[in-house]
Amino acid sequence: MKSTLTLGPVLFNWPAERWRDFYARIADEAPVDAVVVGEVVCSKRAPFLAPVMDEVIARLAAAGKEVWLASPILVGSDRERAAMRDLVESDLLPVEANDMGALALLEGRRHAVGPFINSYNEATLAWLAGRGAVAVSLPAELPAASVAVMAKTGAALGLSMEVQVFGRAPLAISARCYHARAHALHKDGCQFVCANDPDGMPVSTVDGQPFLSVNGTQTLSHGYLALAAEIDRLRAMGIRRFRLSPQDLDMVAVATAFRAVLDGARSGQDVMAELRGMTAVPLENGFFHNMAGAAYADAPAA
């Protein structure tokens, strides 16, 4: 069965022109099948992308990409609720729900369940499938044993099951903006300091050890989650969708490399070596191997 390579939403605060140009290049050059777009982290950033959103969607669709709109991760304030409602009610494109509120509004419509909804077991999958979900992207912290059960159950339920295979692992979301806090600002007067860090703000321990990455209200791993060497195993489990989360590096090259693994043209280990050459950021696969997420299992068992 064919595997789908998905490009997840850009999580970082990129200027609108850069964001538009990024997707133009993805449309023209990246061998991805599906692209999820939208501002999922901070409702204050969304207005900057709005003027170029239609152009980006049209460009991706014209290139034959399956385009999804991502709903925000945390929806509490009035502004966040309004953004969520607008997104769902626009009814232009299928929506990937990242909060239970969006899922509520999508009942009876074809939709995907994003990685920010807690899908931890087969009973939850059955409930989600019963409400009209067609695809579920699993949380990054699930170990292989759980992924295997989820892939098998999901297939039986007719769900297309997805795992993130590249990019910083999302670890937490908050009402508080840590970018603003690090700059002694409040969220309401944040001056959009998160735009200074297009790949997230590095956070190290007191000892100077790289640890986390802050993206406004979101906290991510410092390392890039990378499961290129686990792709065969994921496929054998029944995983059919493979998600790349955009980082500040050549994502066309990343997509091309993962596509080659999916096509059987290159080994996962070969691609891991290429990724190491592209970035100084460490690669991590600990969650999948039931270790600390920050760990790397050097020779994954087949």
Partner 1 sequence: MGPFELICPAGNPAALRAAVDAGADAVYLGFRDETNARNFPGLNFSRPELAEAIAYAHARSVQVFVAINTYPQAGNLAPWQRAVDDAARLKADAVILADLGLLAYAAKHHPDLRLHLSVQASAANAEAIRLYREAFGVRRVVLPRVLTVPEIARLNAEVDVETEVFVFGGLCPMAEGRCSLSSYATGLSPNKQGVCSPASHVRYEPRGEALASRLGGFTINVFGAGEPAGYPTLCKGRFVPGGGTSRDPAYLFEEPTSLNALALLPELKAAKVCALKIEGRQRGKAYIAAVVAAYRRALDAFAQGLPVPALDLEAMVEGGAQTTGAYTRAWR
Told to check if 205 binds partner 1 by CB under 8 A, we report: yes
Q: Is 30 exposed, middle or buried (0-12, 13-18, 19+ CB in 10 A)?
A: buried
Closer to partner 1 by CB, 7 or 84: give it.
84
Closer to partner 1 by CB, 98 or 256: give it.
98
Give the annotated binding-site residues for [4Fe-4S] cluster. 42, 177, 190, 194
The binding track of 144-163 with respect to partner 1, each residue x by CB under 8 A or -, is -xxx-xx--x----------
User: Can you list the pairs that 186-191 forms with residues at least 24 positions away whose Cβ atoms lie under 8 Å?
Assistant: 187/44, 187/217, 190/44, 190/216
Under rule CB under 8 A, which residues in 258-297 are in contact with partner 1? Answer: 286-287, 290-295
Give the annotated binding-site residues. 42, 177, 190, 194
Can you read off the two tokens belonging to residue 219? 């906290």
Under rule CB under 8 A, which residues in 62-121 are in contact with partner 1? Answer: 73-78, 80-81, 84, 99-105, 116, 118, 120-121
Under rule CB under 8 A, which residues in 169-198 are in contact with partner 1? Answer: 169-178, 181-182, 186-188
Residue 137 in contact with residue 115, Cβ under 8 Å?
yes
Closer to partner 1 by CB, 253 or 295: give it.
295
**Cα–Cα dist 46/181, whole Å:** 20
User: Can you list the pairs that 275-279 forms with residues at least 24 positions away whose Cβ atoms lie under 8 Å?
Assistant: 275/166, 275/224, 275/226, 275/228, 278/249, 278/250, 278/253, 278/254, 279/224, 279/247, 279/249
Q: Identify which range of 17-25, 164-172, 237-245, 262-270 contacts partner 1 by CB under 8 A.
A: 164-172
